[in-house]
Amino acid sequence: MQVLDWLLTNTTTVSGWIWGLPMILLLFGTGLLLTAMTRFVQIRHLASSIRQILKGPRAETRDHKGSQGDITPFQALMTALSATVGNGNIAGVATAIAAGGPGAAFWMWITAVFGMATKYSEAVLAILFRRRMRDGTMAGGPMYYCRDGVRGQLGFVLGGIFAVCGAATALLGTGNMFQSQSMAMAVREQFGTPQWVTGLIMSLLVGLVIIGGIRRIGAVAERLVPVMIIFYFGGALLVIISNISLVPDAFRLIVVSAFSPEAVFGGGVGIGVQQAMRFGVARGVLSNESGLGSAAIAHGAARTRYPVVQGGIAMMGTFIDTIIVCTLTALAITVSGAYRSASFLVEDGLRGADLTVHAFAVGMPDWTGGWGGLVVAFASLIFGFTTLIGWSYYGQICCEYIFGLKVVKPYRILFVVLLFSGALLTGRYSSIITNVGDICNAAMAFPNLIALIFLSRRVADVTRKTYAAGDPYAAKVPRLPDPIG
């Protein structure tokens, strides 16, 4: 217990420091820079990006036939969303509100708006600097555009830092143990199932999927992710519709408490603007992963000739995750009045999914028979499962970058073992996983954001030249770097 107490104290301290004002300014500053350099690409090409994802699997045969890559553009988005839309949307939003008040949701929105330009740029660079590995698979992501785009000693160091921190996040942080712990707790609360049972079942299911590599992960994500989002959307919408008269007040509460929490809670609640901003930005990044560079790994495997088109598809991941799904969670917690319970939830060490379960349970219409908690429990399972398979691939590519292809099998075994271990954590010590996730996310974000700043002109040039003709498919795209091996 002394070791766990030491870990809890120190990870909390480090997490608070690393997600301080400098990191917030770096995230916002990079998003602002890329928004300006791409001339608000997230606004100008939002409609065309929506049309691209609505094509779904059909885009493969019509637009990208014969292109390099392992999975279709739609599968790349679904794989990225599988890793992005997870318990960060259920537990992460609730934790942000519990610690930072409803105003944290506002800062999540701001993170998402500028994060769309960041996510767009990450995907563009992932396609431009990806490499074909010796086994024939495609590998892309921040470590490659750091090394081959930034270049020199700085690029080498930045790429190495990202790869190490990405592997740590996939094994120890939000990509693995945070998910299994949230899933196990949600199922235990609803069904009384021991956490080790949930952990064992999920370990077996995840192991069966990830053994097939990115192609199997993409195929599973393509079918499962749309279903899980629609299911959760329906549950949250029931809560919101049953309290529809409170929705305008909920939006007002979120905006007001983002800038003046005392006006909502009173001076003794201990929540300030910096607290709301810190948890809103940290959980926003945890949820949509804009600035982390992780989603670029999935988009780097897409079968496409057009970096800017894949970038447009990628930025929709942030839009769907935060502007839609996280907003649904925040509104459900707010209109149900569950946010008023946030203070004692934090003091008692109960985090994340518990608050969302409470919101759905009290906010659902009476005719549902109190099934709100079951909706969250089921959504937590599916969200967590898809996040686990997505992040298993991210961590694998990071480890391949460091150790080569020989590491694939040991990495997958270790991933499943740690997945099971995370499901066993309970009580206040479960916050260790959340803290580790925050620390690893920041450690990934830093080298990625530095690389994005260095390469922002490259992104702007590719965007301008491609869209100059008005039709992305009519423009000549810069030649991809020669594959290795």
List the CATH number of the domain containing 106. 1.20.1740.10
* pLDDT tens digit sequence for 108-135: 888 889 999 999 999 999 999 998 888 7
pLDDT for 143 = 95
Instruction: Give the residue ranges of the chain where pLDDT is below 50.
Output: 61-62, 263, 266-270, 342-350, 473-485
pLDDT for 484 = 41
pLDDT for 118 = 95
* pLDDT tens digit sequence for 426-461: 766 677 777 887 788 888 999 999 999 999 999 999
pLDDT for 271 = 54
| Residue 308 structural domain | 2-466
In a domain, 478, yes or no: no
In a domain, 141, yes or no: yes
pLDDT for 119 = 95
In a domain, 477, yes or no: no
In a domain, 126, yes or no: yes
Count how many domains the chain has: 1
In a domain, 476, yes or no: no
In a domain, 189, yes or no: yes
pLDDT for 75 = 85
pLDDT for 394 = 93
* pLDDT tens digit sequence for 235-248: 888 889 988 999 99
pLDDT for 148 = 93
Question: Which residue in 71, 73, 174, 110 sits closest to 387, CA to CA?
Answer: 174
In a domain, 483, yes or no: no
In a domain, 401, yes or no: yes
Total-model pTM: 0.85
